[in-house]
Chains A and B, each alone.
Chain A
């Protein structure tokens, strides 16, 4: 698998220059995007202040729907976080060379998405100032969290995931920061000298670094699979029809990677254009991402079919009623948005013409993002609203301006961090892109390795 098409000979120096150039002074377009992100965040903060002042009633919760948009957003953002580790750890262990051009963006996205996700349980608990009650530490209350509850497993899983993915991102950044340090000038040189932690690329440093990176990847791989499994058990361990299914762990993991890869495509297409990285991130990379989308999207589509089949074939009247409500009840529009966006639209990716057309890919990736948000909404809100043993109190739930405002704020928060990162640190890995290039040899160019 060639990384760059034959004919274009990228040199090590060209890679360093191209990526170091992205850190130059930002243009008007960048500030416009950053301004939009900060405005969204501001809207979210104002809504959150109202929520703090007047309580969770503002968020439209009504019996039996007490998990709604905030938990939907939580699962959505945790899901987005999954492709980063998939691309940086799992594909690293599989030695796929194409990951090198896209993994840094995916990994940064992971860290910021987990940061966003982590806010929602705190928003959702209502009395945010008691959040530390979740943390198991000796205290005067003499009360420990219940370790048999999936909510506590989740806290451990998300906490570990955030820590490990942050550490993984920083690890990968060190040699690249050293590379931009050595070509930077002014205050940036000072910043990078400090953050490169004395990296010089000596044999002694690489020896420990490559070994450690391998072990981090090996640890992150089971972690990424476990995190969304644990998130799915938040639901699957409860007896609500529509939640209580053994299918949930693989179904959620596939969905998470699906939405994450879609988000990588959504972010990379404008970044590539904005930073002029066409030589480094090629159509070939996008095609591979699209194939990953197609694979995980098919698994998600299959899971939808299995869910409905089991509801019918299992013969449990409550389960049947829940799924009937899901497809034809008052939230039918949400269910069908999810099925069309996630299961049908990505079938277009079977065509190579569409996989290699960036505009089409961008549009499809946005629809997948929308579809995956609605998948979580359907699973959480619609299952609760349609609880058959609560028939008398169905419907009634409507998301409010506070829900939408805080959700918009979460997008602002995510994009703000991402944009700040992309302009200040190399958004494409310098050393790893070089690794897949043929190294300079006296006897002509050799072959690159699939690192």
Chain B
């Protein structure tokens, strides 16, 4: 395989074959998701201009792993705050009024701020890893610019042999527009 072909495969992957349905109504989209699930379809993508609980419930995905990032980041931040203040105090001890060099109460402020800082930054990393890289993975599936405006959409990846049935299913649920990609 020549290097150009490898690069093309990475940066310009071929589009995923499948069917894209455009919906004007939320309840129609939910109905279509329910039917897809009942029909045993997998790997479909639902587009929505806003997050809605109805869709979330219909798709029934597990809770996002972002929370683990937040937890680990927060704990790490607190630990780094404690290390920073205590280590540096003992590294350059300034004894004032016979008070302990490593006095924890004032350091709690810094530990607190570092907890928040690291927690927030790892949350962002968690979202980036999970959502934005998912965008890269999903870059090959069909999209319509109306999905960020006022339309909902469902993309079902499938070969030409099943496309007809999927088209019918989406139309039957109330899709305004169905096309093959």
* B-side interface residues, number (CB < 8 Å): 66
> Which residues in chain A, 197-223, are within 8 Å of chain B measured between CB atoms?
197-212, 215-216, 219-220, 222-223
User: Which residues 168-192 in A have Cβ within 8 Å of B in the complex?
Assistant: 168, 171, 175, 178-179, 181-183
Determine if A175 and B148 form an interchain contact, defined as CB atoms under 8 angstroms apart.
yes
Give the chain B neighbours of A440 by CB distance below 8 A: 24-26, 150
CB of A148 within 8 Å of the partner chain? yes
Which listed residue, A145, A147, A211, A442, touches B63 by the CB 8 Å rule?
A: A211
The residues of B that contact A144 with a CB separation of less than 8 Å are: 88-89, 91-92
Contact of A211 among B55, B66, B106, B134 (CB under 8 A): B66
Task: Assess the B120–A164 pair: CB atoms within 8 A.
Answer: yes
In the complex, the answer to whether A212 meets B126 with C-beta atoms within 8 Å is yes
Q: Is A32 among interface residues, defined by CB-CB distance under 8 A? A: no
Of A148, A179, A210, A449, which one neighbours B103 at CB under 8 angstroms? Answer: A148
CB distance from B17 to the nearest CB of A (A): 18
Residue A219 contacts which of B48, B63, B120 (CB distance < 8 angstroms)?
Answer: B120
Q: Are B66 and A205 in contact (CB under 8 A)?
A: no
Assess the A441–B121 pair: CB atoms within 8 A. no
CB of B19 closer than 8 Å to a CB of A: no
Taken together as a complex, chains A and B put the C-alpha atoms of A203 and B134 apart, in Å, by: 10
Find residues 87-116 in chain B having any chain A CB closer than 8 Å to their own CB: 88-89, 91-92, 94, 96, 103, 106-107, 109-110, 112-114, 116
Stretch of B8-16, B34-42, B137-145, B157-165 with 4 or more beta carbons under 8 angstroms from chain A = B137-145
In the complex, chain A residues 129-179 whose Cβ is within 8 Å of any chain B Cβ: 136, 142-148, 152-153, 156-157, 159-160, 163-164, 167-168, 171, 175, 178-179
Residue of B nearest to A449 (CB): B53
Q: Binary interface profile of A, 1-44, with partner B (CB < 8 Å = 1, else 0)?
A: 00000000001110010000000000000000000000000000
Smallest Cβ-Cβ distance to B86: which chain A residue: A147
Q: Known contacts A208-B66, A212-B66, A442-B27: does B56 contact A147 (CB below 8 Å)? A: no
Determine whether the beta carbon of A204 is less than 8 Å from that of B131: yes
A152's nearest neighbour on chain B, judged by CB, is B110
Contact (Cβ within 8 A) B135 A205: yes
A199 touches B135 (CB 8 A): yes
Does chain B have a CB within 8 A of A439? Answer: yes
Given contacts A179-B49, A202-B45, A211-B66, contact A157 B113 (CB under 8 A): yes
Whether A394 sits at the interface, judged by CB under 8 Å, is: no
Smallest CB-CB separation from B137: which chain A residue? A204
**Which residues from B are CB-within-8-Å of A431?**
49-50
Q: Assuming A147-B85, A439-B52, is B64 touching A207 (CB within 8 A)?
A: yes
Kindly count the residue-residue contacts between A and B in the assembled complex, taking CB atoms under 8 Å apart.
196
Q: Which of A13, A145, A209 contacts B149 (CB 8 A)?
A: A13
> Of A156, A212, A226, which contacts B127 at CB under 8 A?
A212
Q: Using Cβ atoms and an 8 Å threshold, which residues of chain A touch B179?
A: none
**Assembly CA distance A449 to B84 (angstroms):** 45
**B132 — which chain A residues lie within 8 A by C-beta?**
197-199, 205
Q: Which residues of A contact B25 (CB under 8 A)?
A: 440-442
- Give the distance to chain A from B116, nearest Cβ to Cβ, in Å: 5
A442 near B47 with CB under 8 A, answer no
Q: How large is the interface on A (under 10, 10 to 19, 20 to 34, 35 or more residues)?
A: 35 or more
Bound complex: CA A430 to CA B64 (Å): 24
Q: Which of A164, A178, A219, A432 contacts B148 (CB 8 A)?
A: A178
- Given known A-B contacts A147-B88, A442-B28, A212 and B47 have beta carbons under 8 A apart: no
Asked if A203 and B48 sit within 8 Å, CB to CB, the answer is: yes
Interface positions of B (Cβ within 8 A of A): 24-28, 45-53, 55-56, 59, 61, 63-67, 70, 74, 84-85, 88-89, 91-92, 94, 96, 103, 106-107, 109-110, 112-114, 116-117, 119-121, 123-124, 126-127, 130-132, 134-136, 138-139, 143, 145-150, 174
A-B pairs with beta carbons under 8 Å apart, 22 shown? A12-B49, A136-B84, A147-B88, A153-B113, A156-B114, A160-B114, A167-B124, A178-B148, A182-B147, A200-B143, A204-B130, A207-B131, A208-B134, A209-B51, A212-B126, A219-B74, A219-B120, A219-B123, A230-B109, A434-B50, A435-B51, A439-B52
**A contacts, CB < 8 Å to B:** 11-13, 16, 136, 142-148, 152-153, 156-157, 159-160, 163-164, 167-168, 171, 175, 178-179, 181-183, 197-212, 215-216, 219-220, 222-223, 226, 230, 431-432, 434-435, 439-443, 449
Having A147-B85, A210-B64, A216-B123, one finds 13 other A-B pairs with CB under 8 Å, namely A16-B149, A159-B113, A160-B117, A163-B120, A202-B46, A204-B131, A205-B135, A207-B61, A222-B112, A226-B112, A226-B113, A442-B174, A443-B27
